[in-house]
Structure formats: C-alpha cells, structure tokens
C-alpha cells in the first residue's frame, strides 16, 4: 500500500505538477463563476452582511482553492499552501453558518 501512495506522490511532483495545478485552478475559477451567477442561494429578507455572506462566501471558497492549486503548480512552500487552505476552510465555515441561520 505504501508503494502505491509513494508512486502517486512521485508522479504528482514530477512534470505533471504544473499542468495539473493550472487545470485545477481553471476548474475552480469556473465553479466560482457558476456559484456566483447561476447557483446562487436566495438572499431575500436577509440583512446586508448576512446576505453578502450567503451570496459571496461560497464563490470565495472556490477562488481561494484555485489559489491553492496555483501555489501547488508553482511549488510553493508547504506552510503557504496550508495557510491558504485554512483560509478556504474558514470561508466555508462562514458560508455554512450563514446559510444555516438564513
């Protein structure tokens, strides 16, 4: 089992890294646009800040995930990747909380 994981890790850190990271970032950007325009959550009857969080937090999560993919493609340090991913987790939690109280 460890050898399979090692092969996957080695293949993802090779020449495939840049195209894979760029492709994932483009997919994340597309999902963010889709979430912001087509798949929006209704915000009628919510206060200004609450409506803003409900509408824009989920697309922001996808934008930050796209940034993580770009950082991966550029071989950024692990601490930078982790911190950017934690921003995405925080945004997603804010989105979940705002939707649950909508």
Question: Is residue 10 situated within a structural domain?
Answer: no
Give the residue from 16, 30, 18 showing the smallest Cα distance to 66: 30
Q: Is residue 2 part of a domain?
A: no
6 occurs within a structural domain: no
d(CA 5, CA 50): 43
- pLDDT string in tens for the chain (102-residue length): 568 877 777 777 778 889 999 999 999 999 999 999 998 777 777 888 888 888 888 999 999 999 999 999 999 999 999 999 999 999 999 889 888 876
Give me the pLDDT at residue 1, please: 54
Model pTM score: 0.83
Residue 55 lies in a domain: yes
Q: State the residue range of the domain holding 72.
A: 16-100
Q: How many domains does the chain have?
A: 1
Residue 32's pLDDT is: 95
Question: What does the pLDDT read at residue 102?
Answer: 65
């Amino acid at each position: 089992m460890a050898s399979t994981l090692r092969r996957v890790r080695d293949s993802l850190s090779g020449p495939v890294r840049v195209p894979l990271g760029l492709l994932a970032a483009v997919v994340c950007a597309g999902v963010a646009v889709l979430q912001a325009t087509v798949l929006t959550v209704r915000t009628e009857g919510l206060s200004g800040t609450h409506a803003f969080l409900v509408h824009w937090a989920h697309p922001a999560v996808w934008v930050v995930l796209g940034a993580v993919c770009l950082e991966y493609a550029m071989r950024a340090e692990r601490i930078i990747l982790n911190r950017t991913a934690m921003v995405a987790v925080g945004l997603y939690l804010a989105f979940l909380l705002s939707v649950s109280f909508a």
